[in-house]
Amino acid sequence: MIFDGHVHQLPDIDPTETREWLDSLDAVVDTEGKTRARYLLSRLMERATASQVSFPATVSTPYVNTIPREQEPWFPGDEHIERRIRAYIRWNAAMMVVRANKAADGIGGHLSTFASSASLYEIGFNHFFRGKDDGTPGDHVYYQGHAAPGIYARAFLEGRLGEDDLDHFRREIGRPGRGLSSYPHPRLMPDFWEFPTVSMGLGPISALYHARFNRYLQNRHIDDTSGSRVWAFLGDGETDEPETLGAISLASREQLDNLVFVVNCNLQRLDGPVRGNGKVIQELEATFRGAGWNVIKVIWGSKWDDLLAQDKDGVLLNQMNTTVDGEFQRYAIENGGYIRDNFFGPDERLRKMVADLSDDELRSLPRGGHDYRKLYAAYKAATENLGSGRPTVILCKTVKGWTLGPGFEGRNSTHQIKKMTKDQILAMRDRLHLEDVVPDSLDADHPPYIRLAKDSVEFQYMMERRKALDGSIPKRTTVARRPLDLPGDGPFAEMRSGSNGQEVSTTMAFTRLLRGLARDEHIGPRVVPIIPDEARTFGMDALFRELNIYASQGQKYEPVDHDLLLSYSESTKGQILEEGITEAGSMASFIAAGTAYSTRGVPMVPFYTFYSMFGFQRVGDLIWQAADMRTRGFLMAATAGRTTLLGEGLQHQDGHSLVLASTVPFVQAYDPAFAYEVGAIVQAGMVRMYGGGPPELTDVFYYITLYNENYEMPPMPDTPGLAEAIVEGLYKFADAPAGPSIPATILFSGTAHTAAREAVAELAEHYDVAAELWSATSYKALREEALAAERWNRLHPSQEPRVPRVAQILADSQGPITAVSDFMKIVPEQVQRFVDDRTFVPLGTDGMGRSDTREALRRHFEIDTGHEVHAVLDGLLADGKVDESVVEDAIARYDIDPEAIDPYLA
């Protein structure tokens, strides 16, 4: 249906009838007003929908609850007991933060986020969230990071945490595995938290792709995920992050009715209102509805229902619709008189409506997000939405800091307040009606936690509810429900055999390996190739036909290239996650797949292959999150290198992702030169991550560069221990040529081996230098081992010092060391300090890239053969093995311009 002005292009088959309808509308507007006209139109649209007259849905609805009072379901719980439990949890959460900041000033923590969302969680805990104690994976719940105190407080009340645990909130050091982390961090609390959420936006996008990955597992018959719903709790301020909303259309496209977003619309973020001059709930409604979501607004508490029922002429609705969030925030902190004068006051009809209500009653007209029954109705509707194909978002209007008292509620500064005075503590106690359990005489520096006796009604109730829902959560487990066998050696043997004279790239070799693994009888189905619209760039399009692209709807069309061998083949059982142009989404898929060993007990092996420049630099925070979440898998950084990727220029040529990789613990970063190195690293990675072992070893992921330069892949020499040496990070690739007399050592990584090998020949021919060649596959690994040795030595001064492996390995080499790669000099410099008895000359691609040929780029960045010869001689000059004239000779021989501008500045 076309509207918005285009309707005139549609044929009018009965102009008289059209005229009558339009005249009727005009008459209503003239006599009854616009509100009535709007009402009638809404009713017509409702009727049209009921009669299957397709009409585009409007993107926004009036500022009222989506579920009217008369459609609210029966609330099956005991509201009184649940309110009591909620009050205890609210109390303990707040006291935990207060005590933490008393014990350690400035330690932080948040009071007001959870205070606004306590009911949002409690309704879930008591009635909806499924646990894992029945042996199923249960629901996957992403808690809002800043609400962590409330989640701890519930775990305490359930007896899962003790008082000493709460007193170690944000005091993790010295109690390994037992401190309470500031926010949800599986890395720090691996038995408790499952999903890191505190970097705004990453929780929602991860949850969304997680829901999609569950469907992928289901459609591919790998795991029955139908019993698991993904719940993601997020802040309204958080929705400004591109990651939060950027992928929501995927959820509706993929019909993820297993996904529920709950947005805590307290109208505030850290500094102030989210939309002071507008209405964030309306804005979000429009965005989500436009994207095809099922939107449930929970704006008003039950007491408003009576007022709305009296609103015959729509004045209240109009006032609700036109009041901006900045004003609503103000109403949250003002007294009843102010509300009467300003919200209800201007219109006589409105004022009359509340004439019977006292100021106190006016003040306590609650928002929907604090109304348990309204929330229950919304959550129930969301769960019953399964089968509709539409994901659900529940927009809950709350007050930031609710129940904390006047100093907190709705204040712009509330997000940051961490302390309470005794008066404030007592006021909160009274507000929560906890006078019977918390005495007046409390010590404000050490306010008591409320603990429940095991035989108390509340405890029994709470535990019974959790039992009915399969146990307490959050809980992270790693029990393999469907274990994974390691792959056979076949695919790796192929990597070891070399390319037999053919010139190929490491990317092509990897594609072969991936295909081999996907065909492997043991792990084949568990391999998850993930690609963000770059398969053709990497020559991986060959896999489309063979493995098929996952498409929940199958392929409803015959692809344009159907008659080609490499046609674009989509299927419900497709294995490849072709994500389109979203590195953030692809990373979220990588995380979902790489944590399935824990979230579902089904180990999966993701290989996310991407444009190396758009990895760490673009989605570094998601990579950090992956490390937090103990993700396992392989990040394959294709088109790596600042000169190997020719032509593409400054925005594409990656010469620094390995520097960024060095900043993330648990990332195993490699820069292999040959297919057999790629094979050895992946094979070892499979064993390490999926072969069993302690979590500190297994919970890692790999970052492996892949290049697009073709050359012959040598077969793997059968030197004993070579595979281990490749994994360790450095091995001797070739002895120095026999004949020349001056020894030198060249370390190369990746594609830099070509120039390094040529340099060896040139040095031998012209300068009597015998250079041996070493392949440095991982400076990060070498550095980390060396740092550990250095630390051990520092802490054990009386014991035999350990020698870093890199120093041990290079002890077998001779002469000055020149280290070259297609990355910045700082990459090999990672080990320089540990071989400081040797002259060390790093060569690399510092500076921004540019478009040109490989030859020109390598000359520009001073890593080509001539520069390498020159650098080796310079090292020998420093060692006193040659004199200046020799270096000058090389400058002249290789046409090096000493006055050329430094590529770092060019």
Ligand X SMILES: Cc1ncc(C[n+]2csc(CCOP(=O)(O)OP(=O)(O)O)c2C)c(N)n1
Judged by the rule CB under 6 A, the positions of this chain that interact with ligand X are 113, 116, 146, 198-200, 235-238, 264, 266, 268-270, 274, 400, 415
Nearer to ligand X, 350 or 587 (CB): 587
Q: Least distance in Å: CB of 112 to ligand X?
A: 7
157 binds, among ligand X, Mg ion, none (CB under 5 to 8 A by kind): none
Assess 583 for contact with Mg ion (CB under 5 A). no
Nearer to ligand X, 266 or 318 (CB): 266
Is 425 within 8 Å of 444 (Cβ atoms)? Answer: yes
CB-based burial, 284-293: b 16+ in 10 Å, e otherwise = bbebbbbbbb
Direct distance between the N- and C-terminal alpha carbons of the chain, in angstroms, rounded to an integer: 56
Q: Least distance in Å: CB of 415 to ligand X?
A: 6
For residue 324, what are the CA distances in angstroms to 269, 328, 363, 421, 691? 16, 6, 18, 33, 57
Nearer to ligand X, 235 or 574 (CB): 235
Is 612 within 8 Å of 652 (Cβ atoms)? Answer: no
113 binds, among ligand X, Mg ion, none (CB under 5 to 8 A by kind): ligand X
Nearer to ligand X, 266 or 282 (CB): 266
Nearer to ligand X, 237 or 750 (CB): 237
Residue 97 has a CB neighbour count (10 Å cut-off) of 28
Measured torsion, CA atoms of residues 333, 338, 340, 343, in degrees rounded to the nearest 10: -70
397 binds, among ligand X, Mg ion, none (CB under 5 to 8 A by kind): none
Contacts of 849 by beta carbon, 8 Å cutoff, 6+ apart: 642, 643, 648, 649, 650, 651, 652, 653, 655, 857
Nearer to ligand X, 126 or 329 (CB): 329
Nearer to ligand X, 18 or 416 (CB): 416
For residue 347, what are the CA distances in angstroms to 32, 235, 366, 446, 596? 18, 34, 22, 49, 57
Question: Per-residue contact track with Mg ion, 263 to 292, x per CB under 5 A?
Answer: ---x-x------------------------
Q: Least distance in Å: CB of 623 to ligand X?
A: 14
Q: Least distance in Å: CB of 465 to ligand X?
A: 25
Q: Least distance in Å: CB of 269 to Mg ion?
A: 5
Please give the Cα distance from 103 to 445 (Å, whole number): 8
- Nearest Cα to Cα of residue 267 among 398, 149, 169, 443: 398
Q: Find the farthest-apart pair of alpha carbons in the chain and give their distance in angstroms, rounded.
A: 107
Nearer to Mg ion, 295 or 682 (CB): 295
Q: Least distance in Å: CB of 620 to ligand X?
A: 12
Please give the Cα distance from 12 to 14 (Å, whole number): 6
140 binds, among ligand X, Mg ion, none (CB under 5 to 8 A by kind): none
Residue 48 has a CB neighbour count (10 Å cut-off) of 12
199 binds, among ligand X, Mg ion, none (CB under 5 to 8 A by kind): ligand X
Nearer to ligand X, 408 or 607 (CB): 408
Nearer to ligand X, 113 or 586 (CB): 113
- Nearest Cα to Cα of residue 154 among 455, 459, 404, 469: 459
Beta bridge partners of 702: 634, 668
- Nearest Cα to Cα of residue 404 among 421, 382, 383: 421
Nearer to Mg ion, 284 or 452 (CB): 284
Q: Tokens 């904390």 appear where?
A: 404
Nearer to Mg ion, 145 or 314 (CB): 145
Question: SS3 for 710?
Answer: coil
Q: Least distance in Å: CB of 381 to ligand X?
A: 23
630 binds, among Mg ion, ligand X, none (CB under 5 to 8 A by kind): none
Question: SS3 for 272?
Answer: coil
Q: Least distance in Å: CB of 268 to Mg ion?
A: 5
Nearer to Mg ion, 272 or 448 (CB): 272
Q: Least distance in Å: CB of 334 to ligand X?
A: 20
623 binds, among Mg ion, ligand X, none (CB under 5 to 8 A by kind): none
Is 82 within 8 Å of 439 (Cβ atoms)? Answer: no
Q: Least distance in Å: CB of 722 to Mg ion?
A: 56
Please give the Cα distance from 350 to 746 (Å, whole number): 84
763 sits in which H/E element: helix 753-767
Structure tokens at 494: 């192929």
Q: Least distance in Å: CB of 286 to ligand X?
A: 18
Structure tokens at 778: 């991982």
Q: Least distance in Å: CB of 179 to ligand X?
A: 20
Nearer to ligand X, 400 or 850 (CB): 400
How deeply is 319 buried, as exposed, middle or buried, from its count of CB atoms within 10 A (0-12, 13-18, 19+)? middle
**Rg, C-alpha atoms of the chain:** 32
Beta bridge partners of 232: 142, 261
Q: Least distance in Å: CB of 152 to ligand X?
A: 16
Structure tokens at 86: 């909620």
Is 635 within 8 Å of 614 (Cβ atoms)? Answer: no
Please give the Cα distance from 346 to 315 (Å, whole number): 11
Q: Least distance in Å: CB of 397 to ligand X?
A: 12
Nearer to Mg ion, 268 or 499 (CB): 268
Phi-psi region for residue 723, left (φ > 0), alpha (ψ -120 to 50) or beta?
A: alpha
Q: Least distance in Å: CB of 414 to ligand X?
A: 9
Is 520 within 8 Å of 490 (Cβ atoms)? Answer: yes
Is 820 within 8 Å of 779 (Cβ atoms)? Answer: no
Structure tokens at 131: 């646990």
146 binds, among Mg ion, ligand X, none (CB under 5 to 8 A by kind): ligand X
Nearer to Mg ion, 274 or 637 (CB): 274
Nearer to Mg ion, 237 or 594 (CB): 237
E-strand spans in 830-906?
A: 840-843
450 DSSP assignment: P
Task: Work out the angle between the directed axes of helices 112-127 and 457-468 (0-180°, nearest 10).
Answer: 70
How deeply is 720 buried, as exposed, middle or buried, from its count of CB atoms within 10 A (0-12, 13-18, 19+)? exposed
238 binds, among Mg ion, ligand X, none (CB under 5 to 8 A by kind): ligand X
- Nearest Cα to Cα of residue 730 among 687, 780, 684, 770: 780
Range 201-240, binding Mg ion (CB under 5 A): 235-237
Q: Least distance in Å: CB of 411 to ligand X?
A: 12
Q: Least distance in Å: CB of 280 to ligand X?
A: 9
299 binds, among Mg ion, ligand X, none (CB under 5 to 8 A by kind): none
Contacting positions for Mg ion (CB under 5 A): 235-237, 266, 268
